[in-house]
Amino acid sequence: MEHVRAFKERIEELIDNRLFIDLRNVLASAEPEDIAWALNELEKEEYIVAYRLLPKGLAADVFVEMEPDAQMNLIATFSDAEVHNMIEGLYTDDAADILEEMPANVVRRLLENASPETRRVLNSLLKYPENSAGSIMMTEYISLQPNMTADEAIEHIRRTAIDSENVYTCYVIKNRRLVGVISIRELLLMDRSALVSTKMLTNVISVGTGEDREAAAALLAHYGFIALPVVDAERRLLGIITVDDAMTVIQEETEEDFAKMAAMTPTDKPYLRTSSFRIWLSRIPWLLLLMVSATFTGMIITGFESALAAQVVLTSFIPMLMDTGGNSGSQASVTVIRGISLGEIEFRDLFRVLWKEFKVSILCGLTLSVATFIKILLVDKLLMHAPITTLVAAVVCATLFMTVVAAKIIGCSLPMLAKKLGFDPAVMASPFITTIVDAVSLLVYFGFAKMLLGV
Amino acid sequence: MEHVRAFKERIEELIDNRLFIDLRNVLASAEPEDIAWALNELEKEEYIVAYRLLPKGLAADVFVEMEPDAQMNLIATFSDAEVHNMIEGLYTDDAADILEEMPANVVRRLLENASPETRRVLNSLLKYPENSAGSIMMTEYISLQPNMTADEAIEHIRRTAIDSENVYTCYVIKNRRLVGVISIRELLLMDRSALVSTKMLTNVISVGTGEDREAAAALLAHYGFIALPVVDAERRLLGIITVDDAMTVIQEETEEDFAKMAAMTPTDKPYLRTSSFRIWLSRIPWLLLLMVSATFTGMIITGFESALAAQVVLTSFIPMLMDTGGNSGSQASVTVIRGISLGEIEFRDLFRVLWKEFKVSILCGLTLSVATFIKILLVDKLLMHAPITTLVAAVVCATLFMTVVAAKIIGCSLPMLAKKLGFDPAVMASPFITTIVDAVSLLVYFGFAKMLLGV
């Protein structure tokens, strides 16, 4: 993104020197995504000036890519006629996205200035629940009839393409139902007088409006489609999800998973443009919650204070046991969380997953315990002359083994249970697993110490 | 993916009952991705039988999606003529992908049975480094000349589309150089006798063959393109990267990041089909490495054994301090790692990031310390009558504050330094940060304890 930064600096320079004609030319030849990125970085007065210089067609494309607060500020400077042109110039999915982010009074002004037809479509799109396939579909697509010839179909596309972003996949409608799909490539390759119905695919893969938007995007990615049709219960075509919107959904959901796995509430702005206060807000509830749960681990230690006082050397292994347990558990949990996200693992695989993690944990536990046993006897005892008996080494290694097994079992099963209960499995990642595994490993540790060392 | 599982069970049932005619019909009407998914789950004998029943065109599409070991087993059953048909039926990027995964003797057999032209193209594709844009491009695309009319261009596409998967974005070539790009939508919308040169975009965004494949995929996603051209130093068009391949790259790189952040070596097979031994191999080196580093934390505790023996209550706060430090650090590191991955954060932003994390850490540190101070005095001391002095509470809270600040500073800077030094920033995630922060927090803890409690 080096060139986008250079582009932004060039724009700032031109605004500072009030070279507006140069600025207009620079903007006119740039990509809308880059212009929006640069404008989002500027001050309010600056981006309003720059936006005014954009050619009409480009302005709408840039507007779509800007951040909600900037969009709101720009709308405030629009006349009613400009609002009308803007909303009519957008694809319905983009317009609905913008409406969702605006306060009620702005939404009212936008809808009042839209044409009745646009208003009807937008109102219906806004009714679909957030994160549903319906909420990300666009209503502009190419529809053909099965008894059109290839030539007629191409003529039809010529006449209607102006309204559609995606003309590459065409949908064949009969009696208002989706009966087939055909690509423009196929239309060009087939005999000009052959009927669309002879070459269309009739086994159309589609989703319902209520389907989760992440699942819809994953389906599109799985089949490598350029667009995915969205239908109602009667298989009437309501809209399509395009590949670029699906990629955005996948990217957003991935970032949300990363944030949740590191115990943060996802934020929607890029990091460098998010205020410190907002970042604090997204992090502090989780830190407080996890800190409170970590005090239980402290309480376990308090309960065994006399044992620790008798054998102070036991304390020095606590960090190693806790960290290894935490790491073993988060390996299992992250693997399972991603498997669930990608649709590779479902709840009914629970026992297959448990059995696999059990075998892996035995292998890992054995390796780590044997390595630790040798290390304690050779390095700590022989080289460093630490006051460690073989029995203490045995307690540490037995605990390590049990901790790894418990950590992997807990790590793989909690995300699956969370999913089953309707929670987001990503929340069951490292931080929570670590807190639980810490407590387990200490209980095991003191249990073995009591049993074998009699402390 | 529920329907894919049902599909696989149906196939197994048909094979078990030797109903091969039914099997052929079921397979013929399915999507190649689903067939491959199902075949990958079957035993070797079963998938060889099922593969033989596929219609010719479908067989190549299914072959591409199968796993490398299954591809190798299938090739072993092919005659030379079948190998020829298979390799000629593939797009060049898919064929090159397959060759990269095969052992040398299979590669030789595949290339020997390819046509001289295909062999030449494949040999040149195989020369591009792994993970480069060149390694994922396909050499089949539509090229037009600037002085063609729209009608001539469409006729040209009709004649050449049979060889190209992507006919939607056409590339305009003059004197062997890429001079423009035009969509088939634009060709259909423009005046039939107008020249391509009048409507093509001349500001073509492209990548070089040596560009990182992840960066190329991110560029395509950023602009919402359906294909991205790959050019050499003289701007000669060598191939294109299509949106479905870009999505696959982004998905693979994301999974690699998730794996690395949880201290695992990425595996290329789905979890449920990876053997326990392979999973152990991908996890154990990291667990051993992190365990060794955690022993340093243990050594710090050993060094302060006398202090702990004097004030045993100090031990009970160790888990809380370590966990909170680890969580604070991984929040910062995951945020920065994702920012780097998405191109939002670069090394030259180091001081902006440090300053932001410093402010956030002050806010988080203060909140957590105050909460802990109140909790110790109200809950632990008043309610539970724990033997904790106000001075001990002060030591714990001061340590907590310093730990959070240090954790956030370490967490945000290590990934950036790793990137600068040419390492993968994702490795600097939770596990490593936790290990380092653990040591820091204990040193601070015992430092404050010495100073304030004189232990």
Q: How far is B170 from chain A (nearest CA, A)?
A: 12
Mean pLDDT of B177-201: 93
Query: Which pLDDT value is given to residue B384?
Result: 75
pLDDT at A6 over 80: yes
**pLDDT over threshold 90, residue A220:** yes
User: What pLDDT is stored for residue B1 in this prediction?
Assistant: 66
Most confident of the ranges A29-43, B35-49, B348-362, B378-392 = B348-362
A443 vs B: CB within 8 A: no
Mean pLDDT of B52-60: 87
The band of B62, judged by pLDDT with boundaries at 50, 70 and 90, is: very high
What is the mean predicted confidence (pLDDT) over A272-297? Answer: 85
Q: What integer is the mean pLDDT of A262-287?
A: 85
Mean pLDDT for A94-105 is 88
| B194 reaches A (C-beta below 8 A) | no
- Which pLDDT score is estimated for A177? 93
Give the H/E segment covering residue A61.
Answer: helix A56-65
Indicate the angle between helix axes A56-65 and A92-101, nearest 10 degrees: 50
- Choose the most confident range, by mean pLDDT, from A325-334, A352-361, A385-394, B330-339: A352-361
Task: Pick A334's closest partner by Cβ from B154, B164, B258.
Answer: B258
Sort B188 into a burial class: Cβ within 10 Å, 0-12 / 13-18 / 19+: buried
All residues of chain A having their beta carbon less than 8 Å from the beta carbon of residue B302 are 313, 316, 386
Q: Given an 8 Å threshold on Cβ–Cβ distance, is A339 in contact with B271? A: yes
DSSP A114: S
For residue B409, what pLDDT band results from cuts at 50, 70 and 90?
very high
pTM of the model: 0.84
**Position B156 pLDDT exceeds 90:** yes
pLDDT (0 to 100) of residue A303: 82
Least confident segment among B173-177, B204-208, B295-299, B416-420: B295-299
Residue A341 pLDDT: 85
Residue A29 at interface with chain B, using a CB cutoff of 8 Å: yes
- Longest CA–CA span in chain A (Å) reads 93
List the one residue out of B337, B293, B264, B294 whose CA is nearest residue A408: B264
Segment B215-244 shows an average pLDDT of 92
Residues A347-373 have a mean pLDDT of 94
Kindly state the helix (H) or strand (E) to which residue B228 belongs, with its residue range. Answer: strand B227-231
Instruction: State how far the Cα of A404 lies from the Cα of A334, in Å rounded to an integer.
Output: 15
> Distance between CA atoms of A238 and A255, rounded to whole angstroms?
29
Q: Tell me the C-alpha distance between B125 and B138, whole Å.
A: 9
With beta carbons under 8 A apart, name residues in chain B contacting A334: 258-259, 261-262, 264
For A337-353, b/e burial (b = at least 16 CB within 10 A) is bbbbbbbebbeebbeeb
DSSP character at residue B376 = I
CB-based contact B317:B396 (threshold 8 Å): yes
What single-letter amino acid sits at B413?
S
Q: What is the pLDDT of residue A91?
A: 87
Task: Give the mean pLDDT of chain A.
Answer: 89
The reported pLDDT for the residue numbered A242 is 93
pLDDT value for B171:
96
Predicted ipTM?
Answer: 0.83
pLDDT at A243: 93
When pLDDT is cut at 50, 70 and 90, the band that residue A1 belongs to is: low
The pLDDT-based confidence of B152 (bands split at 50, 70, 90) is very high
- Residues ≥6 apart with Cβ < 8 Å to A214: A131, A249, A250, A253
**A312–B322 CB contact, under 8 Å:** no
Q: Coil, strand, or helix at residue A171?
A: strand
Q: How far is CA A85 from CA A76, A78, A80, A118, A121, in A?
A: 15, 10, 9, 12, 16
Inter-chain CB proximity B320 and A344 less than 8 Å: no
Distance, CA of B41 to CA of B26 (rounded, Å) = 17
Beta strands B227-231 and B237-242, pairing class? antiparallel
Average pLDDT over residues B14-25: 89
- Averaged pLDDT, A72-89: 89
> Across the interface, do B330 and A435 touch by the CB < 8 Å criterion?
no
Q: Each residue of B245-256: pLDDT tens digit?
A: 999 999 988 988
**B33, A339: Cβ pair inside 8 Å?**
no
User: Which residues between 323 and 352 in chain B have a beta carbon less than 8 angstroms from any beta carbon of chain A?
Assistant: 323-324, 326-328, 330-331, 333-336, 338-339, 342-346, 349, 352
* pLDDT above 90: residue B266: no
The predicted model gives B103-119 an average pLDDT of: 88
What is the pLDDT at residue B6? 85
- Alpha carbon of B424 to those of A91, B210, B255: distances in Å? 39, 18, 14
Please judge whether A319 and B318 are an interchain contact, meaning their C-beta atoms are less than 8 angstroms apart: yes
For residue B237, pLDDT beyond 80: yes
Q: What are phi and psi of B232, to 5 degrees?
A: -95, -175
Is residue A407's pLDDT more than 90? yes
- Give kind and range of the element (H or E) at residue B178: strand B177-183
- A57 contact B CB<8A: no
Quick one: pLDDT at residue B146?
Answer: 95
Average pLDDT of span A198-212: 92
Q: Which residue of B has its CA nearest to A154?
A: B188
Q: What is the mean pLDDT of chain B?
A: 89
The string of pLDDT tens digits covering residues B205-215 is: 999 999 999 99
Q: Do A262 and B430 touch (CB under 8 A)?
A: yes
Shortest distance, CA A359 to any CA of chain B (angstroms): 6
Interval A277-306 mean pLDDT = 84
pLDDT 10s digits, B30-47:
889 899 988 988 888 889
Give mean pLDDT, residues B137-153: 93
Residue A173, pLDDT > 90, answer yes
Question: pLDDT tens across A301-346, in order?
Answer: 888 877 777 777 888 888 889 889 988 998 999 899 988 888 888 8
- B434 Rama sector, left if φ>0, alpha if ψ -120 to 50, beta otherwise: alpha
Nearest Cα to A196, choosing from A163, A149, A158?
A149
Average of per-residue pLDDT across B361-390: 88
